[in-house]
Chains A and B, each alone.
Chain A
Amino acid sequence: MITGITTFLIIFAVVGAILYGRKLAKNEKLDAVFGNPERAKGGAHWIIVGTSFLLLTWLYYSWDLAKSFYPQSANELCQVAKVNDSLLSLKYLFPIVEREFKSTSIIKNENRNIEKLANEIKNSPNVKDQDKNKLLIFIEKTKKTIPLLTNEKLLENETKNKIRELTNRITWLTEDFQKIDYPPIKSIEEENKRIEALKIQGGWGSSGTAVENTIEIPTIPETKKGLKFDAAAKDLTLISEDFFKLRNHNSQYKVLIKEIKDDIKKYRSELGESEEVASALAKDVLKIARRIEYGSIFPPNTLDAMEQSIVEFDQVQKKEQGSLRLVDIFLFPSGTIISSGPNCSEQGSGRWLPKPSDTLKKFALILKPSVGFKNIPLIWYEMMDVSKIVGFIMPDWLADIIPGKYPVHSADGTVKPNFKSKVLNVVTGEFKLFKIPVPMGHIWDSFLRVFLGLTLGIIFGVPLGLFMGLNRFAKGFFDPLIELYRPVPPLAWAPLVITVFGIDNIGKVFLLFMVSFSIMIISARAGASGTQLSKIHASHSLGASKWQILRYVIFPNSLPEILTGVRVAVGMCWGTLVAAEFLAGTTGIGFVENVAKKYFQYEVIWITIFVMGMLGLLFDVVLRKIIEKTIPWHGKG
């Protein structure tokens, strides 16, 4: 319902925005030539069009449009899929979905195998000539079984009748299927049972109450059309089963195959221990013979009537689908609903691209702090005592250097704290102050890692970069180190860093630090060495000290480069972080995605992708604001 309204709103927005854009283009008097940045200014309406197209694509390929406009279609298509599923085994026998008859391809294949095996026997050095002859006789006999199966004259009447009977059953079903009153009304009890079952059966779409996957497509037929297909599928399954019980083994064939089996058995039992090769070859011959035996091989034209009846049924069932077929073609792009055993499922883009409505539902669910993902909320807060911060900042050895000894327990089994132990409590944060809320959760952890890695990279990278741009020693001394590790993809370091620094935050932050550090050095260095000499000379002649030149000339001049570097580093850090969290993680967005993948929770995977995109965008927007504030002159010179 909401999806439907949204869809219409989106379409109106697109149409409106396009009309507005065309009107604007007509009325605008812009004398800017091609290449003038003025021509790229503004254009919020195009943002609407772009976003709407993304949303429409998502709605369309996730089959959410089908769900909102034809909520019954999944259930009905499930029944159609049941029909297709029950016909599939039969269809594979004929050139309907394949290029050739199954019999043909089996015979082609086995003739090839027989030839191959014959050559192997002839060329086998470890087999005596008399054994070779015997084996070749077996092969020859096996080869002879094929014409016995493909000769129409040898086809037994019983088999013929059975095939005719099955063909008739399909034809009758085709006729019945077109009637309005198919399927015949069942007993009232059964009908009531179905209605009861329908009440329990959920709707199409994933559950909004559990993170785990649940069956998404209702399988019990809900509509009249569905009932029809469901009943036909049951009949067809029976027909298919009966057919595959059928064996085209006439009396001549039976005699021959028994002879082959007995001969080979006898031959193998007579062979000594030393003739293992011959025994194995004989077994291979037997395997081919048995494959032919079970291969549903029929004479060329015996099954023609049956093929025709199946094709006819297929046409009829397609016609009976009516409008459903159009829904299937147009609203279920790149895939459809298929049936597998008693269940139906979405296969195609609908499976791995969750519906926007479902994704929102799941997102709302795991945003709840009580649900979260793996017992940790996505983002929430916890109350933390300020004492912990004090304990973190103050070094523990402060207590150790205070004169005196830590308290010792007394004879009556109590411990009396003294000044030294009280200091220890303070520096380790073992006391109570007041509590403040601090953020926590997967998103916060990922954010914090990136933020820390980036900040550390800036703090260490920028001064070093400037230094390298200004000093010959620094340039020469640090260059090999930086240039050696910089070109290596950060992820190549990941396994090593995780081994050295462990799987905790330190390792991940260090990895991100490595990423941002090199980028910051390069950009700061480029900025520093790119400062116009005339500006430096001017300030120098005005009497500026070294520090003043650095602070007021070189640093502002390299700021544009540095800030561009930060923007690049943010992107790189995100990419690296997610992969690092993949490797070993307990929290973080990358961890969530990795675990969701293990359970095939596509909704959660997409949620993590969106969250990452949003966070990256957030970082970038903040940086753009900073750039506008700090270097307003940039690009205007």
Chain B
Amino acid sequence: MKKILSFILGAVVALNLSISVANAAAKEVRIAFFLEWPTPNQEDKVKKLFDKALGVPVKWTNFSNGGAMTDAMLAGDIDISYSQGLVPFINAVKSKAPLKLVDVAMEYGMGGTTCVTSKASGITKANASELEGKKVAVPLGTMAEYVFDESMKVVGANKSKMTIIQMDPEEGAAAIVAGDVVMACLFGGNSIKAALTVGTRLLTVQEARDAGIKGIDITSVTDKFMKENPGMLKTFIEVTHEANARYAAGKSDLNVIAKDAEMSVGDMKETLGGFVFLNAADTKKSMESGGNLDGFLKGMGTPNGAVDTSFLPL
């Protein structure tokens, strides 16, 4: 009896002590990014320019969706998430995660995130209400879900009458190819390309732009890293903006970016071409009240105080 009690007490004490042992000043910076999602700063990543600019080694880890990025940040394995989708970030902040939005990575039309209907089903924008009662694959809790919601409003289909299947983009692409679903909403160049072999975009890039459906990817950071290494965070954002400026000037090494994104140069150029990289001033405008990002955040009921513009290189 005594042994059992002391064991239980010991376990309680051990659990309570394991709170989170403070790690010493950042010996490395851990950054999350997406594959199949080319960005100009990947050139800096490959050429180790981030390591030089930050003065410590930078470790890059790729993720398949923004929710997983949040999980890793909360578990203390990632410091900065670059180009996390806004929707996963909002979900995280709504669920009390101590994260901050510090930069807009890019805005994009439906080039990078889109819904594809299969040709076999014969469903297009004109008869989209036929989607009702059928199966559609949507990666829930990501930007693609937002695009799905908005697209359904545009084409006038009732999404509550559809059978929504939770599938990550790669699986969604496989499901539409196999004919299991009539529509798949996806992000990522290779997945969209695979889906387009058997389907067409529900809304073309132009149509989506006209309807005001716009994706925003952001840079998010853990509160802890932000407080501890504000200088590094600022440098990271600065280098990223420099890379964007270099891309805008046509001086980026596209081969390097394509290889790092694990895409062919042609596909990569197409995807990258759909991205709009804002300069620091425009980013700030977007993040402040009345801006694009701010409107998006408010529209989705995000709690206040999740945005910090003080790290932008202005």
Contact = CB atoms under 8 A, between A and B. Distances in A.
A597 B180 CA distance: 24
Contact of B141 (A342, A586, A599): A599
Interface in A555-602: 583-586, 591, 594-595, 597-602
Contact of B305 (A92, A97, A102, A343): A343
B314 interface: no
Given A284-B52, A334-B16, A599-B141, A584 B231 contact: no
A57 B171 CA distance: 39
A342 B305 contact: yes
A502 B180 contact: yes
Which of A215, A335, A348, A586 has the largest count of B CB atoms less than 10 A from its CB?
A: A586
Contacts of B171: 583-584
A340 B223 contact: yes
B59 to A, nearest CB: 16
B121 to A, nearest CB: 15
A343 B55 CA distance: 32
B24 interface: yes
Contacts of B6: none
Contact of A600 (B52, B97, B180, B231): B97
Contacts of A53: 8
A213 interface: yes
Contacts of B178: 499, 502
Contact of A89 (B8, B92, B137, B230): B230
A110 B55 contact: yes
A341 B16 contact: no
Contacts of B164: 374, 586
B100 interface: yes
Nearest to A600: B95
Contacts of A333: 12, 15-16
A598 B53 contact: no
Interface in A315-365: 333-336, 338, 340-343, 345-349, 351
A334 B19 contact: yes
A294 interface: yes
A586 B163 contact: yes
A110 B95 CA distance: 39
Interface residues of A, number: 63
A193 B219 CA distance: 35
B4 to A, nearest CB: 10
B94 interface: yes
B62 interface: no
Nearest to A352: B74
A162 interface: no
A215 B95 CA distance: 7
A503 B12 CA distance: 44
Interface in A485-532: 499, 502-504
Most buried by A among B15, B55, B178, B306: B55
Contacts of B24: 98-99
Contacts of B163: 586
Contacts of A271: none
B55 A340 contact: no
B70 A600 contact: yes
Nearest to A290: B235
B96 A342 contact: no
A503 B180 CA distance: 7
B contact patch SS: mixed
A553 B308 CA distance: 78
A92 B95 contact: no
A374 B94 CA distance: 18
Contact of B95 (A109, A244, A288, A601): A601
A235 interface: no
A599 B166 CA distance: 12
Nearest to B65: A598
B96 A584 contact: no
A217 B95 CA distance: 11
B6 to A, nearest CB: 15
A597 B55 CA distance: 36
A445 interface: no
A585 B19 contact: no
B231 A291 contact: yes
A215 B94 CA distance: 7
B279 interface: no
Contacts of B304: 341-343
Given A89-B227, A503-B165, A584-B165, A335 B19 contact: yes
Contacts of B16: 333-334
A308 interface: no
Contact of A105 (B18, B25, B160, B308): B25
Interface in A252-280: none
B91 interface: yes
Contacts of B211: none
Interface in B167-192: 167, 171, 174-175, 178, 180-181
A175 interface: no
A216 interface: yes
Residue with the highest number of chain A CB atoms closer than 10 Å, among B8, B16, B56 = B16
A88 interface: yes
A244 B311 CA distance: 13
Contacts of B305: 340-343
Contacts of A395: none
B98 interface: yes
Contacts of A595: 140-141, 166
A345 B97 contact: yes
Nearest to A89: B227
Interface string B47-62: 0000011011000000
Contacts of B308: 341
B8 to A, nearest CB: 8
A157 interface: no
Contacts of B282: none
A113 interface: yes
B248 to A, nearest CB: 19
Interface of B: 8, 12, 15-16, 18-20, 22, 24-25, 52-53, 55-56, 67, 70, 91-92, 94-100, 135, 137, 140-142, 160, 163-167, 171, 174-175, 178, 180-181, 223, 227-228, 230-231, 234-235, 303-306, 308
25 contacts: A92-B227, A102-B25, A110-B55, A212-B94, A213-B96, A216-B96, A217-B96, A288-B55, A334-B15, A334-B18, A338-B223, A340-B223, A341-B100, A341-B308, A348-B20, A504-B180, A584-B137, A584-B167, A591-B166, A595-B166, A598-B67, A598-B91, A599-B140, A599-B141, A600-B97
Given A338-B223, A340-B98, A341-B223, 18 more contacts: A88-B227, A92-B228, A99-B24, A105-B25, A216-B96, A284-B52, A287-B52, A343-B96, A345-B96, A502-B178, A503-B175, A503-B180, A584-B165, A586-B163, A598-B140, A598-B166, A600-B95, A600-B97
Interface of A: 53, 61, 85, 88-89, 92, 97-100, 102, 105, 109-110, 113, 212-217, 244, 284, 287-288, 291, 294-296, 333-336, 338, 340-343, 345-349, 351, 374-375, 499, 502-504, 583-586, 591, 594-595, 597-602
The 4 closest A-B pairs by CB, nearest first: A341-B305, A598-B141, A600-B95, A345-B96
